[in-house]
Amino acid sequence: MEIIIKASLAEAQREAAEIIARQLRRKAASVLGLATGSTPIGVYAILTEMHKEGLDFSKVKTFNLDEYVGLSDDHPQSYRQFMQQHLFSRVNVAPGHIHFPDGRAEDIPAHCLEYEAAIRSAGGIDLQLLGIGSDGHIGFNEPSSSLASRTRIKTLTPRTVKDNARFFGTADKVPHHVITMGVGTIMDARACLLLATGESKAEAVVGMAEGPITANLPASVLQMHPDCKLVVDEAAATRLRRADYYRWVYENKPDWQRR
């Protein structure tokens, strides 16, 4: 795992956007796994500006990590609407290349198998963008999720419901179930990029990067991924014990590794 510590939220978002842009410049028909929530909003804003300057999304295919069960596609808090607002309406991605879990599927287990098959049919995910919950979840793989899990329905913990209440106004309006890519599905991506910012994520970040690999902190399994970048701001890095070493490594990378 490469740990990149940036001085500020804005610099961390810029770094994450640059990593995604480099992927698209290397492979125009990249398959991106995308995340929602407050963490990636700034990244999508920067990618939008890069698109205005020529970054092409026309051949890109996307698969979103998750969706609430029971919300319609046009519900203002659905993740489809989130992505439409913050990225898809602003870049030239083809509507037919966009994929989401269907939170209103009549047969959810069958739909989850179909979603996995669609990812395989697209050639697998080239780069998976991730955030991390304050309890260490990735996607909506809550603590105790199997580290080999595939796309499936999950029940949110009270902590996650509370964390997401700000988007719905009150906690009692937050759906209690989601469809999410599994940890194993995420690990199949050829590269992973996790962005974590703010002091509230510091405990999860140190557990993920320097703690034991455990289902009780699902993001910790990314220590086993062959190509994972963790981008954090100084606030999220406050508990990292080897922060100085991570900074030194990043500052002394050979030029070819920065391309």
Residue corresponding to tokens 């990590």:
65
For this structure, is 255 an active site residue? no
Active-site residue, selected from the candidate residues 15, 116, 126, 142: 142
Is 137 labeled as catalytic in the residue annotation?
yes
Instruction: For residue 147, give the nearest of 206, 208, 230 by alpha carbon.
Output: 208
β-strand partners of 63: 33, 99
For 239, residues 6+ apart whose C-beta sits below 8 A from its C-beta are 202, 203, 205, 206
Q: Is there a contact between 157 and 144 (Cβ–Cβ < 8 Å)?
A: no
Q: What is the dihedral of CA 186, 18, 196, 128, to 10 degrees?
A: -10
| Separation CA 191–CA 226 (nearest Å) | 8
Catalytic residue among 86, 97, 137, 225: 137
CB-based burial label for 33 (10 Å; 0-12, 13-18, 19+): buried
**Catalytic residue, candidates 126, 135, 163, 233:** 135
66 has catalytic annotation: yes
Residues recognised as catalytic: 66, 135, 137, 142
